[in-house]
Amino acid sequence: MPRKLAAGNWKMNGLGAALAEVTALAERCPSPKAEVLICPPATLLSRLSAAAEGSPIATGGQDCHTATSGAHTGDISPAMLVDAGASYVILGHSERRADHGESDATVAAKTHAAWNAGLTAIVCVGETEAQREAGETLGVIQSQIASSVPDGATAASTVIAYEPVWAIGTGKVPTLKQIAEVHDALRGQLNERFGSEGNEIRLLYGGSVKAKNAAEIFAVSNVDGALVGGASLTAEDFGPIVEAL
Ligand code: PEP
């Protein structure tokens, strides 16, 4: 199993001054047990990659296009992310699925494009509150995985993030039993589809992870790290989460 992963998703947050948080995080966690990743907005990616140079902090994008270049105003290609220092890209985040109408097929095409550029794709899946209440959680997530993760996924190329939509940015967190139920089911699905490689693909939990709940979530079976939004924005908040892994 590759090292556990603490991934921060800054979303549309962070001006130049936020780079100081990366320096502070590197100082606070000079040799973390887990891999540490920050995915800033595209405007900060080059500068953040430079600021993190020589530290254990990797950088990533929050989305990418399927093409390498071309007439796609406002988009960013996987090659551009690599050029800006990224080694990861988050794909299919529920905010992109909801705000930009991204389908599973779109996410799969973006994942392919990311792999071709040498990026590791963090593919996000998760149920809405209505789907959970209707008892559809496992069906929804397993169908998202089946259609968003292309054949050929490996532990080096792919990370899966389980992020219940209703837990993102809300302070609501599933019970540890609910997290285990989903992660165990996902592990079974990955094993069945990808054989021994499926056992090595990291499964992150995301949704209102904070310093106070990180350790108990990380102790849940088949939780190999976290994708963290709000609590990844400062070294003070993210440092303890990294240290809990
Ligand atoms: C996220 O956006 O991926 C996320 C998990 O956000 P938060 O930690 O703020 O709930």
Question: With bands split at pLDDT 50, 70 and 90, how would you rate the model's confidence at 216?
Answer: very high
Summarised one tens digit per residue, pLDDT across range 157-186 is 999 999 999 999 999 999 999 999 999 999
Give, for ligand 1, the residue of 91, 124, 228 to mutate: max count of ligand atoms closer than 8 Å to Cβ: 228
Task: Name which of 7, 66, 81 is nearest 238 in CA terms.
Answer: 7
In three-state secondary structure terms, 165 is helix
In three-state secondary structure terms, 36 is strand
- How many domains does the chain contain in total? 1
Q: Are 48 and 25 in contact (CB under 8 A)?
A: no
ipTM for the whole complex = 0.97
CA of 163 to the centre of ligand 1 (A): 8
Q: Give the domain range for residue 82.
A: 5-244
DSSP 230: G
State the CATH number of the domain containing residue 99. Answer: 3.20.20.70
Is residue 243 annotated as a catalytic residue, yes or no? Answer: no
Determine the Cα–Cα distance for residues 187 and 235; give it in Å rounded to an integer: 31
Inform me whether the pLDDT recorded for 156 exceeds 90.
Answer: yes
Summarised one tens digit per residue, pLDDT across range 55-89 is 999 999 999 999 999 999 999 999 999 999 999 99
Inform me whether the pLDDT recorded for 9 exceeds 90.
Answer: yes
Give the pLDDT confidence score for residue 2 in this predicted structure: 76
CA of 70 to the centre of ligand 1 (A): 31
Closest residue by Cα to atom 1, ligand 1, is: 229
Inform me whether the pLDDT recorded for 1 exceeds 80.
Answer: no
